[in-house]
């Protein structure tokens, strides 16, 4: 009986490895590109108040900030567009959102293990979705995005780059809509 279970486990692992090799992108951290969805509350490009760079995600370079395309071009490329999905409100009336990149289909995700990144979006009922949920604190001229799982804020600076970092009230954590679609 035990030998039969071991053989089945080995066969299942072999089948899974064949699946991952045979199916292009099956092991990738990026999802398929997202089409503009009517379920998004907003679609916009996010610009950091200090660096003046936009939050971007693409399959080649991953999550980063870069010079905002709408500063040079009349339209914003998908890798700088983020769809906001409302996940409700916290007890202090801050909106909780998930941000999905339109180019990669990945969601903004933060964890102690992997840091701030673009990653496969978790379904609403999945307990791991908390790593992709951000509390919005509105400011007079922008907002702060704070991850629910880590408590870190989305932070960008020339010295340290884009990262999840403890919320400290500095402008490195202030974001504005560079372009609303």
* 49-81: pLDDT as tens digits: 999 999 999 999 999 999 888 655 556 788 999
Task: Give Cα 15 distance to the centre of its chain.
Answer: 31
| CA-based nearest residue to 152, from 136, 163, 160 | 163
| Contact between 135 and 146 (Cβ < 8 Å) | yes
Per-residue pLDDT at 75: 67
What are the tens digits of pLDDT across the range 80-126? 999 999 989 999 999 999 999 999 999 999 999 999 999 999 877 67
Q: Would you list the domain boundaries of the chain?
A: 1-28, 31-180
What are the backbone dihedrals phi and psi of residue 164, each rounded to the nearest 5 degrees, phi first?
A: -90, 125
Indicate the class that CATH gives domain 31-180.
mainly beta
Q: What is the pTM of this model?
A: 0.77
């Amino acid at each position: 009986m035990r030998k039969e279970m071991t053989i089945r486990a080995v066969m299942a692992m072999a089948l899974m490895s064949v699946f991952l090799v045979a199916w292009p992108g099956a092991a990738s951290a990026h999802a398929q590109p997202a089409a503009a969805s009517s379920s998004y509350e907003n679609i916009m490009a996010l610009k950091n108040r200090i660096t003046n760079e936009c939050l971007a995600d693409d399959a080649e370079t991953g999550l980063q900030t870069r010079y905002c395309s709408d500063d040079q071009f009349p339209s914003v490329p998908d890798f700088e567009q983020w769809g906001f999905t409302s996940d409700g409100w916290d007890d202090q009336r801050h909106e909780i959102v998930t941000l999905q990149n339109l180019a990669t289909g990945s969601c903004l995700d933060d964890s102690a293990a992997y840091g701030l990144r673009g990653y496969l979006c978790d379904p609403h009922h999945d307990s791991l979705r908390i790593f992709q949920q951000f509390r919005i604190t509105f400011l007079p001229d922008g907002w702060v995005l704070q991850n629910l799982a880590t408590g870190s804020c989305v932070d960008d600076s020339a010295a340290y780059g884009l990262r999840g970092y403890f919320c400290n009230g500095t402008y490195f954590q202030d974001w504005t809509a560079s372009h609303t679609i």
